[in-house]
Amino acid sequence: MRSFNTEGPIRPDDHYNLPPLTRWDLDQVLSLIEQKKYFLLHAPRQTGKTSCLLALMAHLNRDGRYRAVYANLEPAQAYREQVDAAMATATQAIVQGARCWLGDEQAEAVATEVLESPARHLALQNFLARWCARSTQPLVLLLDEVDALVGDTLLSLLRQLRAGYPQRPTAFPHTVVLCGVRNLRDYRIHARSEREVITGGSAFNIKAKSLRLGDFSAEETRTLLLEHTQETGQVFTPEALEQVWTLTQGQPWLVNALAYRACFELPVGRDRTQPITQALIDQAKEQMILERVTHLDQLAHKLQEPRVRRVIEPMLAGTALGDVAEAARCLSGGTRSGLRLAGDLRSAQRAATDRGAHRQ
Ligand SMILES: Nc1ncnc2c1ncn2[C@@H]1O[C@H](COP(=O)(O)OP(=O)(O)OP(=O)(O)O)[C@@H](O)[C@H]1O
Ligand SMILES: [Mg+2]
């Protein structure tokens, strides 16, 4: 039985989904790869970046022209500015990806060789050069959570990729996709080894393009919800469909989380003979707000930024009606839906206060 996914990347066999490769311009992505480009994919948290990378890897490996490997660099974050340890961890992440997705055992031997050599700070570059040189097919490397790295380690990663770039595709990856929350242009790298702040653009001037993954459109939101109807026969009333869009503005995780609660957790919603109504969606929303689910906090995180707070705080405090258009300009993507829910949080808090006052 499939359901709405609220934990991590989607698995098409287990989860209702919009086919990830339809969420971006696949022709453009394939054309960039064809041209041996290095490029970026970025979007706010919980938008579907990892789901897209994994689907792209599967697509390329099925096609057979390239060997594609996904690796998550987040484990290297713990080493902060210790370049040797962070580069060894990044290398190991790729080795693990090669083993898991391609069944490639050769990568491990190459990594061991490289990590035993004295130039450990260049481990990633040396590993990629030697590994690719031994491969019969061009490698497409999909690196996730790149901007989890900081300071000297981020700088080192970008510079090692730039240094090996001219050797592609025979002795370096044919294509590298760097994926993160921020656009490379917005990377401001405070490295201990440098006197000045280095911008991402200057450290990685080989970047061909930055692709931004957006939220779901109203139509896509509806299509995802109707997967549940097709699979179980349980209908959403038109008002319920509309309400999911109104509350989430298509933020992918929020759409799934609201629908999951309404259809798989609330007792009435679990009865497939009953329609999912607007009231059920509202009930699911209230529960999420009261439980302050983690991602909701993350989505509302941007509210901490001074320029955003100046606009939003009076609205939340109820001291001003607020200029919603200006608020929307300050915020982007998922955060806008976070704002709507934050507004609802205020209503919920007021209601709770009123109930408390009533009891006294
Ligand atoms: N193609 C899709 N169809 C339906 N829902 C999706 C799809 N892609 C993502 N989602 C929703 O978004 C959530 C997060 O997906 P994913 O982990 O791929 O995003 P992410 O952008 O990599 O997140 P993070 O920034 O936290 O790493 C999923 O749990 C699911 O709720
Ligand atoms: Mg991810």
If asked whether residues 158 and 52 sit together in one domain, one would say: yes
In a domain, 50, yes or no: yes
Q: What is the pLDDT of residues 201-227, one digit of tens each?
A: 888 888 889 999 999 999 999 999 999
In whole angstroms, what is the distance from residue 276 CA to residue 270 CA?
9
Q: What is the pLDDT of residue 359?
A: 40
- With pLDDT > 90 as the criterion, what percentage of the chain qualifies? 69
In this structure, is residue 8 part of a structural domain? no
Query: Do both 332 and 270 map to the same domain?
Result: yes
Given a cut of 70, whether residue 319 has pLDDT beyond it is: no
- Residue 13: inside a domain: no
pLDDT value, residue 328: 44
* Rounded (5°) CA angle 208-185-40: 40
Task: From 212, 246, 279, give the residue that closes a domain.
Answer: 212
Render pLDDT for 2-38 as a digit per residue (tens, 0 to 9).
Answer: 999 999 999 999 999 999 999 999 999 999 999 999 9
pLDDT at 324 over 70: no
Q: Is 5 a domain residue?
A: no
Let me know whether 132 and 227 are in one domain. Answer: no
Among 66-70, 143-147, 345-349, the range scoring the smallest mean pLDDT is: 345-349
Mean pLDDT of 78-86: 93
Q: What is the per-residue DSSP string for 65-111?
A: SSEEEEEE-GGGGGGTT-HHHHHHHHHHHHHHHIIIII---HHHHHH
Q: Which domain-ending residue is among 212, 235, 254? A: 212
**Domain endpoint, select from 191, 212, 233:** 212
Helix 218-232 × helix 238-248 angle, to 10°: 130
Residue 325, judged by CB atoms within 10 A of its CB (0-12, 13-18, 19+), counts as exposed
> Considering the domain boundaries, does residue 86 fall inside one?
yes
Same domain? 46 vs 184: yes
| 175 in the same domain as 47 | yes
Residues 236 and 157 in one domain: no
Overall domain count for the chain: 2
Is 11 among the domain residues? no
Mark the residues whose beta carbon lies below 5 A from ion ligand 2: 49-50
Q: Do 346 and 197 share a domain, yes or no?
A: no
Model confidence pLDDT, tens digit, residues 110-160: 999 999 998 889 999 999 999 999 999 999 999 999 999 999 999 999 999
Which ligand 1 atom is the nearest neighbour of the CA of 23? 1
Q: b vs e for 48-61, b when ≥16 Cβ sit within 10 Å of the residue's Cβ?
A: bbbbbbbbbbbebb
Distance in angstroms (rounded) separating the CA atoms of residues 74 and 148: 6
pTM over the 0.75 mark: yes
Q: How far apart are CA 129 and CA 173, in angstroms?
A: 8
Q: Which residues of 330-356 are buried (b: 16+ CB within 10 A; e: fewer)?
A: bbebbbbbbbbbbbbbeeeeeeeeeee
| Whether residue 227 is found in the same domain as residue 176 | no
Model pLDDT, residue 297: 62
pLDDT of residue 288: 87
Q: Which residues pair with 39 in a beta bridge?
A: 177
Same domain, 282 and 141: no
219/244 Cα distance (integer angstroms): 12
> Does residue 177 sit in the same domain as residue 56?
yes
Indicate whether 260 belongs to any domain. yes
Predicted confidence (pLDDT) at residue 304 exceeds the cutoff of 80: no
Task: Kindly give the number of the ligand 1 atom that is closest to the alpha carbon of 43.
Answer: 21
Confidence bin at 331 (pLDDT 50/70/90): very low
Query: Hey, which of 21, 51, 59, 222 would you mutate to test ligand 1's pocket, going by the most ligand atoms within 8 Å of its Cβ?
Result: 51
Pocket of ligand 1 (CB under 6 A): 5-10, 17-18, 20, 23, 43, 45-51, 224, 252-253, 256
Indicate which residue's Cα is closest to atom 15 of ligand 1: 48
Domain that holds residue 230: 218-359
